[in-house]
Amino acid sequence: MGIDVLMGFMIFIFGLVLGSFYNVVGYRVPNNMSIVFPASHCPNCNHKLRFYELIPVLSFVFLGGKCKKCKKRISFFYPFFELLTGICFLLSYLVFGISIEFFISITFLSTLIIISISDLKYYIIPDEVLIVGTILLLIEMIINCIINDVSFFNGLFMPILSGAGSFAILFLIKILGDAFFKKESLGGGDIKLLFVIGLVIGFDMSLVSIFLASFIALPVSVVQLVKKNDNVVSFGPYLSLAAAIILLTNLNFDKLLLFFTS
């Protein structure tokens, strides 16, 4: 597979631009706001942002991380997720090239990024984002079956079954966790998210993503508990990170067995 540097750069820039839009979606959808109106503005003083204040990452740097009008500090979240989206798009191109797998990858990663923004800000994983992401992924899987001559059983039915199985497993974990801790241990959004994860990376690796996400989240939750005396952790971003790592490294059980037995 040949890698075109110019194509990679363009895909990276495209990811940056979409990352800026994903920030808007992740902020507005949980607040039941339109993602189109009003135009982008400072949430503190309602200053309408000019085009040069909307350049992904660069505007944040040139403005010194502050609103041009009221000088209120802009959250680092915005350039971080813009840059993250650009990197995810570039990595998808490096791993899959220009293929239907590439489009499945960026659709999946885009869904994960938006729900991570929302979950970190509001502890909410919007159903709207999961539904749109799932529909797009299913369409792309149908296209994959057609152009790559994959049977609909293997290319569509099995992924849906994997998603349903992943959903059922995390739902069972939630029931057991709720009974053990005597309070809600997992949000409904996390369970629905695992359906999407299982749909893309498969049932077996979706289980690995749960363990990997828990491993990554553990030290963060301990620090949060010590510093803030708060044990509420947004699990969606960690599930998303784990799933993204598995997807972009093409991790599977054969590679895991080779790693642990070598």
Give the start-to-end residue ranges of the domains of the chain: 1-89, 99-262
What is the pLDDT at residue 218? 86
Encode burial over 19-36: b for 16+ CB neighbours within 10 A, e otherwise. Answer: bbbbbbbbbbbbeeeeee
Q: What is the DSSP letter of 156?
A: I
CA distance 258 to 262: 6
Only one residue has tokens 């598995």, namely 246
Tokens linked to 25 = 């979606």
- Average pLDDT per block of 10 residues along the chain, 262 residues long: 83 96 94 84 79 86 85 89 97 95 98 96 94 98 95 96 95 86 79 96 94 89 70 86 95 70 68
Tokens linked to 42 = 């400072």
What is the pLDDT at residue 248? 96
What is the pLDDT at residue 228? 67
Q: What is the model's pTM?
A: 0.92
